């Protein structure tokens, strides 16, 4: 029976031509940081990194890497896995990794749904899905990254007590995520007051996508869940 591949949850893979430096980083640095799905994941996900790390955090769709880099710079005792299919954003992240000498980042340059099944059970201590493509048109809704299947995989790879953070400038998407999380039953929504979903926490830096949404009059929603 032919296996049906899921619809892409992202748009274009490439933007404007890369500079010579970014092209070099894609050719030379990316292969050293890329997850190798040809081999089983290590029993301890921390062993992916060349330096000792206490635990591993995962960001799905890191864009140009502002949030991922902010966290990696401030938590050098942690390991970070970032998934991003957009080549230009990936190259920007690689440039910062090289310039800053960061050794606690690994990447997957494709759909995060390819990486999730590879990750061991209960291996991720925190997850981030910040401003995924909302696919707002009715005929596009099936392309949204967050689905019952994705949440099931996240529940498998996140350790008990792990936090999962989601942000969107689409109120409809945020409402859908809340509903799907409740239906899954493996997560607890951490909101206790209105400010908990209207305001970012101090350790949750702004991204360019958020700035764009705010400049265009769209108010982001910030959701935090804990894996039960």
Tell me the catalytic residues: 133
| Torsions phi, psi for 188 (to 5 deg) | -115, 125
| Torsions phi, psi for 9 (to 5 deg) | -95, 10
Are 21 and 145 in contact by the 8 Å Cβ rule? The answer is: no
Residues in the chain: 228
Distance set, CA 169 to CA 11, 176, 210, 223 (Å): 17, 13, 8, 11
Tell me the HSE value of 174 on the side-chain side, using a 13 A CA sphere. Answer: 20
């Amino acid at each position: 029976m032919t296996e049906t591949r899921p619809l892409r949850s992202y748009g274009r893979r490439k933007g404007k031509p890369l500079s010579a430096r970014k092209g070099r980083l894609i050719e030379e640095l990316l292969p050293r940081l890329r997850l190798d799905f040809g081999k089983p994941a290590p029993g301890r996900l921390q062993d992916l990194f060349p330096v000792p790390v206490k635990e591993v955090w995962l960001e799905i769709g890191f864009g140009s890497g502002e949030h991922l880099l902010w966290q990696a710079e401030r938590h050098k005792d942690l390991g970070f896995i970032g998934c991003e299919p957009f080549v230009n954003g990936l190259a920007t992240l690689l440039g910062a990794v090289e310039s800053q000498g960061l050794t606690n980042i690994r990447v997957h340059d494709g759909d995060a749904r390819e990486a999730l099944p590879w990750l061991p059970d209960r291996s991720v201590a925190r997850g981030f899905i910040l401003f995924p493509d909302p696919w707002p048109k009715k005929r596009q809704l099936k392309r949204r990254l967050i689905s019952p299947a994705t949440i099931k995989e996240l529940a498998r790879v996140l350790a008990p007590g792990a936090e999962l953070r989601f942000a969107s400038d689409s109120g409809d998407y945020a409402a859908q995520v809340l509903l799907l999380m409740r239906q899954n039953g493996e997560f607890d929504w951490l909101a206790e007051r209105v400010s908990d979903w209207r305001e970012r926490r101090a350790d949750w830096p702004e991204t360019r996508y958020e700035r764009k949404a705010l400049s265009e009059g769209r108010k982001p929603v910030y959701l935090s869940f804990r894996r039960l």
